[in-house]
Amino acid sequence: MDISDLTELHYIAPISNLPSVMKHGILSHERASRLDHESVANATVQARRKDKRIPAGRHLHEYANLYIHARNPMLFRLLRSTDQELCVVCVRTDILYLEGVIITDGNASSDYTGFWPSPEGLSNVDAELSFAEWWAIGVEFERYERIRRKCAEVLVPDRVGPEHIAGVYVSCEAAKQAVEAEGIDIAITLDAHLFFL
């Protein structure tokens, strides 16, 4: 993947967290734990991430994690409950040039995932798999590899400041109204396809 392949990065969040996101930014798991917020994190996955350390870096929970593309297995699992309570926060790609930012070629909790400094590390991300429409293809190992790579991440030390946030995607008019009801000034885009609708 090349930097020109990216127009934005994504963060999956409950709409109810948007006022905090716009005030404090997108926080690492560690920093977010100090604030009152709703979490959509999978407990099993977070248990794996908790003690994982980035090679030549910090613990994974000390990074705010963004996705190369949010139409991925995590969002798919979350949508089994509801799409009207979730949004995808759009983050400008200038975040890639901040000191200490790390690129992964897949889900950071996987033992098979590699970690590289940003933005050079983008060359290790498979654009075709990151932007693929679907990942449940092939035999067992190939399917696992597609799932892992579909969840390529950008890891930002501590937080992504609100100044890097460009807007949000929502799935439908009801979700758009829920964002508007939070009373924050943010660009809202309806994109049912992003939410598998």
CA distance 166 to 186: 8
8 Å CB contact between 127 and 5: yes
By C-alpha distance, which of 176, 167, 154 is closest to 54? 154
Is 153 in the active site? yes
8, 49, 71, 148: the active-site residue: 49
- Residue 94 half-sphere exposure toward CB, CA atoms < 13 A: 7
8 Å CB contact between 147 and 134: no
Burial label, 82 (beta-carbon count in 10 A; 0-12, 13-18, 19+): exposed
CA distance 15 to 176: 9
- Residue 131 half-sphere exposure toward CB, CA atoms < 13 A: 10
Q: Which run of H or of E encompasses 120? A: none
The residues, ordered by sequence, that sit 6+ positions from 188 with a Cβ below 8 Å of its Cβ are 167, 168, 169, 170, 176, 179, 180
99, 149, 153, 173: the active-site residue: 153
What is the set of active-site residues? Answer: 49, 153
